[in-house]
Amino acid sequence: MISGKKSVAALSVLAAAFTLSHGFPVQAGGIGAQAARQIAPLELKRSAAPATWQRQKVDSQGSSWPQTDWAGYSTLKNTATPGPNGAMHMTTPIDGDAARGRQLAFDRTRGGSCVACHVMGKDTPPQPGNVGPDLSSVGATRSDDWLFNYVYDPRTYNAASIMPPWGAHRIFNVAEIRDIVAFLKTLKTPHAFGDPQENPVTRTPPRETRDNLDPTENPAMFALDRGKELFGRTGPQGKSCTSCHANPERAFKQWAAQMPRFEPRLNKVLGVEEFITRHARATTAAEFPMQEPENVALSIYLHNLANGTPLNPDLTSASARQAAAAGRLLMQKKVGQLNMACVDCHTKERHAFKWARGQYLVESRGTVAHFPTWRTSRGDIWDIRKRFQWCNVSVRANDLPPDAKEYGDIEMALAELNKGEKINSPGIRH
């Protein structure tokens, strides 16, 4: 029999070994907490998403989400997008209605418009992007056949192109692309901007200066208060979170910074939000499905307790490292009708630090530690999984339930990439 300090040390070693091989540790507050580490109870059979999960229809302030079903195109889970069929040989010169082509090129309802990525001469609408090259003189340098095929399916010339296959993916039909080519042929003179803030090359990048922890600046701070109240609320089994975690300020000072974690009992990565759902069901019997207001409030509370702590995800197990590797591959996968990947917009090797219309693209590093975050453009609090869902929908790919394995892998990859970034939650972003 082992007693005294040796007993505590032995129990600590056993608990650590059990944790590494069996899943999440949970720690009660108070004296001897290290020896009291044990595997966190989790409900393992049901989905952590709301029972009737479907794509978000509107954010809390009424901002709508597209409801189109893009089943014919790849998602992060399935591969369905057809490949390119090679160049189409057109009768040249290509005749079309240049005025109609100009209207189509500037139409924001058709995949965001060409101006999202290109400057297009003297008639360029405000705030053009520079993800793609300046096309102000493209009509003087490219053939009709080349222009048509590049618009129809740029993969014919560049398999890694960020430009959508406008024709191959049925965003524009052949007649419409003829009109767009006719417009492009009129662009023969370089464009000089009078206002440097209109020029995407000289435009000043945005800088977030608002105090995210001031409730007069950040409405998400009110959810922090609700999260603290929910943490102490008694559930159907007569217990609350404080029944086991009487000193959350101490017990959770680092916990959120060590998330997400690979959970072997579910064979996937769990982030804070899914852990809340499954742990609450197994302990207090409270129902806090992912992305419901109660879940978001508790996530903000737990993240806020770890504010200032550097992100340090546990990648010691082979399974965790495999999940991170899978996440990195998913970030390279082209999805949706617009045929884009995470890395197209969020790596400096591709198009980070450029403009997509009036939206400044940033690299993936520096984008995690402020979640959950208040989106001023949406009037809503988003957790990291809702950010993933919106990115899917914005490139016209069907999104996945918030507890999807693929989102967990990407969250792990981002946590690894952002290791060392200090938690500062709830955040505030446009």
User: What local confidence, expressed as pLDDT, does residue 89 receive?
Assistant: 82
User: What local confidence, expressed as pLDDT, does residue 286 receive?
Assistant: 98
Residue 422's DSSP bridge partners are 310
Three-state secondary-structure class, residue 359: strand
Domain coverage including residue 190: 82-204
pLDDT tens string for the chain (430 positions)? 344 444 434 434 334 333 433 456 555 443 334 434 578 999 999 999 999 899 999 887 788 999 999 999 999 999 999 999 888 888 889 999 999 999 999 999 988 899 999 999 999 999 999 999 999 999 999 999 999 999 999 999 999 899 999 999 999 999 999 999 999 999 999 999 999 999 999 999 999 999 999 999 999 999 999 999 999 999 999 999 999 999 999 999 999 999 999 999 999 999 999 999 999 999 999 999 999 999 999 999 999 999 999 999 999 999 999 999 999 999 999 999 999 999 999 999 999 999 999 899 999 999 999 999 999 999 999 999 999 999 999 999 999 999 999 999 999 999 999 999 999 999 999 8
Same domain, 221 and 367: yes
d(CA 33, CA 12): 10
> Structurally, how many domains does the chain consist of?
2
Same domain, 146 and 292: no
Same domain, 296 and 429: yes
In a domain, 21, yes or no: no
Give the end of a domain, one of 157, 173, 204. 204
Same domain, 193 and 226: no
d(CA 410, CA 16): 26
Same domain, 315 and 422: yes
Q: What is the 3-state secondary structure (H, E, C) of 236-289?
A: CCCCCHHHCCCCHHHHCCCHHHHCCEEECCCCEEECHHHHHHHHHHHHCCCCCC
User: What local confidence, expressed as pLDDT, does residue 25 receive?
Assistant: 59
Same domain, 390 and 309: yes
Same domain, 156 and 278: no
User: What local confidence, expressed as pLDDT, does residue 23 receive?
Assistant: 57
Same domain, 226 and 267: yes
User: What local confidence, expressed as pLDDT, does residue 60 receive?
Assistant: 79
Read off the tokens for 130.
């520079």
d(CA 161, CA 339): 9
Same domain, 390 and 258: yes
Are 372 and 303 in contact by the 8 Å Cβ rule? The answer is yes
Same domain, 65 and 196: no
d(CA 415, CA 230): 27
Give the end of a domain, one of 156, 178, 204. 204
Residue 237's DSSP bridge partners are none
In a domain, 414, yes or no: yes
- In CATH, what number is assigned to the domain containing residue 111? 1.10.760.10
Nearest to 65 by CA among 390, 422, 416, 404: 390
Same domain, 252 and 174: no
Same domain, 195 and 221: no
Q: Residue 159 burial by CB count (10 A; 0-12/13-18/19+): exposed, middle or buried?
A: exposed
Q: How far from each other are the two terminal CA atoms of the chain, in whole angstroms?
A: 60
